[in-house]
Structure 1
């Protein structure tokens, strides 16, 4: 069965107001200077709105940086206080208010619960005016980001800003559209029906569609709406058009159901990550922060993000940028990893939350699915909370009451343009057949899965579930030294320090990283404690990058095949994209925007075209994975000796197999041992590289590699003694590297000079290579050269 969505439009910008149904919304901002006070009045200070309590206390010098060392513990007293925001103002300009209008206090979401008193509407000679003399806000509840990746202090405040809104009846007279193609900037007008419904029905054949990144452009239109209120008015708005379907259908000859998204009728493999709040203090998430993170998503060949249900509904700009950049959004509602009440007042609060958020976000084409919660179906099914069997039916009933009878019901009423999933992970329609809580919500034959395993060797693809859709998976690493220096002192910079333990919120996480790394690499053993610490930071990033690479490549090569009923994988969203503070976590981007090695690897394992090598039983395979509509073939395979800079052997692919776009198939299979024997290699002395070519013989996509043994057992890895020269080229810098030997995991770090390299963490199998550096702030050759630190695997032992 397929859950289909209809063409719809996006409201982004406006001249007069925003059209909602047949009402015109007028808006008045109350942002600016407010007063913030604790319960006994011992602290009273000015505070900006948008803003939050911690930010105000920091700006006034009451507290220091809450992220510094152990301050998140020292400042927990802030969460135990009741804080009041107060402001007084007069409304001198007309703000229409009649009994046909609705007055709304906006800007609040689940971060804070706000109660309002003292709104006084004063009648004057002009019956369309109103005055608001005082707005008083008391924070009754707080929300905490104290998960296994974040600091343990609740945050609170009016971080979205505050505004008054009023709606007037608005009669539509005419609707017309002007295409504003991002590339051609065409201004050809398309006259359309005056009737809004006919306009929406007929426009489908006239417009260019919005496509996910990598599958087409994101053309936009300028919609002009002429209407009558108290005289003719015109609204101008930017809109996009697209369709979305979540396809869950029987698979001929196999058990289970498919699970994939179709955009504009085309099946799309979702490549991306999970998004968490970019800061504990959400008023400090700037436009620059969002643009940097989302550009990093695009630069890593991702096309999707899952906004995780334990965070926040993101600000409008986040979704606007996703619209513009073609980044699909899987949007959770903010319920995660917990049991929630079902008393009527809570249910009513949830209904209002869902109505407001769906109303605010439903016109964004980037959002392709709603999900009711994160992992709460799995929590009940696998008994996370040790619920007695006799009481389990009650909790299942409460689950259905909250997520099905209320959240799902409201979403289906408010938005029929996109699918709804009750939970993640879930078996989708199969969970529905089992009463909404499946016996095994992780069943790979249905829906999406979350999978974590820190004890299995991550290079063994057999440990990964061959799922229909992987919406969470990952491994931890530590951030770089330059990021940790911002919040630590020299005494803290040891792997076994109190600071290192405090920053790790995942049970046994620091040890798990070393245990996984030790399966493949020599652990740092320098007698210099500080070097051993920095080498350990490096080796955790190597481990994380290689582990997520192996798992993601497994999911991508599983998109077109079914083995024992399992497979047809159509999504890989690793956990997690960004970080909320300077600490170890599953993220591929450090707090502040610096790319970890994993994010550089993502550029390759999410590339539109990718060769994947692996071993099964006694054979070595290469699969070609392609998102494109272009046929591909395998080029030569090269075997290198670790001790030599040039290939010791090349194997010509004598039987090239053309691979159609949007698929993944085997293009090479040979027994491994004869392959090595024919080149005079052993597993420990050699490794393989390979790439794909198009029909013209040109390389397409990255060169990939396959290690034949754990690198701790590799024979012949030499000290490469890499040197570098830097020069300026236009807005970028060129880094020319020379090496004496083959070097795995070459890592270039420029400390506090924020920016990104064109490649990093790479396998250097040639004597020289050139990479580019794109700075995010002004710098020069001298600073960059002096800051550049090069680390390879051989340097850590």
Structure 2
């Protein structure tokens, strides 16, 4: 059962004009470094790095080697300060708190020059009582200590046992002892990201004033009692009662769709108090459970809990991350951004097993072609692995199988660098992400070979059985017309299963298709019903593409038209084209498919822009690449 909390209302202090008041301190603060030699304005929420950049004191942190050049920022101790006037009369409120939703990370807090507390955890919300120190006009300071130096001190003081790792691998160019500070771990560097151990106030800061009582915390848990075959709710609330007398009242819990409404009487004694409630849902009421996508409905129930008692994100985007001398696969910059030991060599080695490496005499062209080829290799590798897991769903071979799903690492990039991600920094889809929408399709044919026999498995994540056919086509690399094709008899694909649909020795397949050899032909296949495509079209290479015979350089053109907010790319090719990659430069958006094998003369692809653009802009920016363009 999944519950949505529709309304949470605490009425404390009947007869007052308001139960509480809140005043945010977000906005402009002053920031200075440890010895006071540098002072600048900075935004809250924010961090020192972003403030320095906005004032032009440092360049874009992601430019070239700036992760090393700006290491000094993280090693200094910075102070955030602000003077402000509270826009309501403080004397009318029994309790005044300073709330810090997120502090990064180690700091001492002074309010009107009085130390009120410390922080050492980036992930915690902090609340400090300032009732006795707050005035109409106030000052606040957060004196930060370098998280890098703090972690080193904590490590040195810890002698009971070793806490690995002391430092990250040298190739990651990071900071040490990250396990000794409760801070975002990747800010000390990672194999996919830079080292920027930030300091700052990364969430809201506010003054909160209230009388009588205040609801500090609320949580609930649905629990199924299997023996009684009924659902219950455990609700827990935490109050700060500042009244000198007990506060009475009632709590009304209502879940209309489950025909549930219960009322509880409570009395809160002065101080910190916890209220625990147990809500029973009648076993005569059918409670719909919450299912994963495709497995059933995501039913939610709105719950109202009423207490009746007495009495952003700033996102920075930047142009340029490198210089012309960096645009080489083996440049100092490329190797600097590669945080996996020997990663560039490994990528080229893997690509060279199956593809001809770029052969242009132009260094910049070679760099671009190498990037394209590594994206092809990444997409193919993850596709092959994922399809193996999916087709292993319903069987066990050599004690392996019954695989019920797959996840790949990782989704997105924190900066512009080589990584496993399928989304670029900035959100643009890499070839792998386009492949993923196909190899994770709920209905998919998967082709593979075993002992010179070609198999096609049908994989279904659907919950219903469907009648369909499998179409198998064989093309030579030199012709857009299939040399042979076969459509199976109609069969029923059972939901939630993976079964073998097609089996043929490769020698028989090649003989049946005329002049085919492993090197000259490629197989494509799809599932359909009544001539309607039900699955993505998949393919199987009979040899490594670098051994392909008859593969021609394809001339691919596009006619672009607009339909509402969507743009239509009508493609036409002169030859079979593997790994067709459509690109529109810096125009943000995504295609309906990309990186595909084009075996037919025409194909229509849609482009979904993320910002307003025009047909003319797309025509000016459009560029298409296929495998033979890099030879």
The separation in 2 between residues aligned to 1:605 and 1:644, in whole angstroms, is 26
Could you tell me which residue of structure 1 aligns to residue 100 of structure 2?
106
Report if aligned partners of 1:38, 1:84 keep a CA contact under 8 Å in 2: yes
Could you tell me which residue of structure 1 aligns to residue 520 of structure 2?
685
Could you tell me which residue of structure 2 aligns to residue 174 of structure 1?
252
The separation in 1 between residues aligned to 2:90 and 2:380, in whole angstroms, is 59
The separation in 2 between residues aligned to 1:284 and 1:606, in whole angstroms, is 33
Could you tell me which residue of structure 2 aligns to residue 418 of structure 1?
none
Could you tell me which residue of structure 1 aligns to residue 263 of structure 2?
194
Could you tell me which residue of structure 1 aligns to residue 294 of structure 2?
214
The separation in 2 between residues aligned to 1:12 and 1:88, in whole angstroms, is 37
The separation in 2 between residues aligned to 1:159 and 1:671, in whole angstroms, is 61
Residue of 747, 750, 757 corresponding to 2:581? 747
The separation in 2 between residues aligned to 1:202 and 1:67, in whole angstroms, is 58
Could you tell me which residue of structure 1 aligns to residue 161 of structure 2?
none
Q: Relative to 1, partners in 2 of residues 1:652 and 1:106: Cα closer, same or farther, differing over 3 Å?
A: same
Residue 627 of structure 2 corresponds to residue 584 of structure 1: no
Matches within 5 A, 1:290-689: 486-632=320-466, 633-654=468-489, 657-680=491-514, 681-689=516-524
The separation in 1 between residues aligned to 2:607 and 2:620, in whole angstroms, is 14
Report if aligned partners of 2:585, 2:622 keep a CA contact under 8 Å in 1: yes
The separation in 2 between residues aligned to 1:116 and 1:50, in whole angstroms, is 16
Deviation, structure 1 residue 688: 1.0
The separation in 2 between residues aligned to 1:547 and 1:77, in whole angstroms, is 40
SS, match of residue 587 in structure 1: coil
Could you tell me which residue of structure 2 aligns to residue 44 of structure 1?
39
SS, match of residue 422 in structure 2: coil
Deviation, structure 1 residue 202: 4.2
Deviation, structure 1 residue 491: 2.2
Residue 205 of structure 2 corresponds to residue 162 of structure 1: yes
Q: Relative to 1, partners in 2 of residues 1:222 and 1:8: Cα closer, same or farther, differing over 3 Å?
A: closer
Could you tell me which residue of structure 2 aligns to residue 225 of structure 1?
305
Structure 1, unpaired ranges of 5+: 1-6, 19-23, 180-188, 232-281, 290-482
Residue 134 of structure 2 corresponds to residue 121 of structure 1: no
The separation in 2 between residues aligned to 1:102 and 1:703, in whole angstroms, is 64
Deviation, structure 1 residue 636: 2.0
The separation in 2 between residues aligned to 1:77 and 1:623, in whole angstroms, is 56
Residue 50 of structure 2 corresponds to residue 33 of structure 1: no
Could you tell me which residue of structure 2 aligns to residue 430 of structure 1?
none
Q: Relative to 1, partners in 2 of residues 1:202 and 1:517: Cα closer, same or farther, differing over 3 Å?
A: farther
Report if aligned partners of 2:5, 2:303 keep a CA contact under 8 Å in 1: no
Q: Relative to 1, partners in 2 of residues 1:612 and 1:113: Cα closer, same or farther, differing over 3 Å?
A: same
Q: Relative to 1, partners in 2 of residues 1:204 and 1:661: Cα closer, same or farther, differing over 3 Å?
A: farther
Residue of 177, 180, 195 corresponding to 1:152? 195
Deviation, structure 1 residue 53: 0.7
Could you tell me which residue of structure 2 aligns to residue 399 of structure 1?
none
Q: Relative to 1, partners in 2 of residues 1:11 and 1:639: Cα closer, same or farther, differing over 3 Å?
A: same
Larger radius of gyration: 2
The separation in 1 between residues aligned to 2:7 and 2:627, in whole angstroms, is 51
Q: Relative to 1, partners in 2 of residues 1:17 and 1:222: Cα closer, same or farther, differing over 3 Å?
A: farther
SS, match of residue 720 in structure 1: coil
Deviation, structure 1 residue 200: 5.6
Residue 142 of structure 2 corresponds to residue 137 of structure 1: yes
The separation in 1 between residues aligned to 2:547 and 2:90, in whole angstroms, is 75
Deviation, structure 1 residue 192: 2.7
Report if aligned partners of 1:51, 1:161 keep a CA contact under 8 Å in 2: no
Point out the structure with the larger helix share.
1
SS, match of residue 68 in structure 1: coil
The separation in 2 between residues aligned to 1:132 and 1:616, in whole angstroms, is 78
Deviation, structure 1 residue 741: 0.7
Could you tell me which residue of structure 2 aligns to residue 477 of structure 1?
none
Deviation, structure 1 residue 27: 5.7
SS, match of residue 666 in structure 1: strand
Structure 2, unpaired ranges of 5+: 13-18, 117-128, 149-182, 209-213, 217-238, 242-247, 265-275
Paired residues, number: 523
Report if aligned partners of 1:684, 1:714 keep a CA contact under 8 Å in 2: yes
SS, match of residue 569 in structure 1: coil
Report if aligned partners of 1:631, 1:661 keep a CA contact under 8 Å in 2: yes
Residue 549 of structure 2 corresponds to residue 715 of structure 1: yes
Give deviations 1:97-156, integer Å, cap 9, x for gaps. 999x895733226x41233333473469xxxx9989444322232552411111233222
The separation in 1 between residues aligned to 2:90 and 2:445, in whole angstroms, is 62
Residue 63 of structure 2 corresponds to residue 63 of structure 1: no
The separation in 1 between residues aligned to 2:7 and 2:336, in whole angstroms, is 45
The separation in 1 between residues aligned to 2:73 and 2:64, in whole angstroms, is 17
Deviation, structure 1 residue 755: 0.4
Report if aligned partners of 2:2, 2:290 keep a CA contact under 8 Å in 1: no
Could you tell me which residue of structure 1 aligns to residue 168 of structure 2?
none
Matches within 5 A, 1:762-781: 762-781=596-615
Give deviations 1:328-370, integer Å, cap 9, x for gaps. xxxxxxxxxxxxxxxxxxxxxxxxxxxxxxxxxxxxxxxxxxx
SS, match of residue 537 in structure 1: helix
Give deviations 1:1-39, integer Å, cap 9, x for gaps. xxxxxx453548766699xxxxx9986533222221111
Report if aligned partners of 2:5, 2:304 keep a CA contact under 8 Å in 1: no
Give deviations 1:687-735, integer Å, cap 9, x for gaps. 11111235x5632121111111000001111111111111111001111
Point out the structure with the larger strand share.
2
TM-score computed with the length of structure 1 as normaliser: 0.61
The separation in 2 between residues aligned to 1:794 and 1:787, in whole angstroms, is 21
The separation in 2 between residues aligned to 1:723 and 1:579, in whole angstroms, is 31
Report if aligned partners of 2:360, 2:366 keep a CA contact under 8 Å in 1: yes
SS, match of residue 532 in structure 1: helix
The separation in 1 between residues aligned to 2:458 and 2:20, in whole angstroms, is 52
Report if aligned partners of 1:17, 1:25 keep a CA contact under 8 Å in 2: no
Residue of 512, 521, 535 corresponding to 1:701? 535
SS, match of residue 281 in structure 2: helix
Could you tell me which residue of structure 1 aligns to residue 594 of structure 2?
760
The separation in 2 between residues aligned to 1:573 and 1:108, in whole angstroms, is 31
SS, match of residue 702 in structure 1: coil
RMSD in angstroms over aligned alpha carbons?
3.2
The separation in 1 between residues aligned to 2:583 and 2:284, in whole angstroms, is 49
Report if aligned partners of 1:94, 1:130 keep a CA contact under 8 Å in 2: no
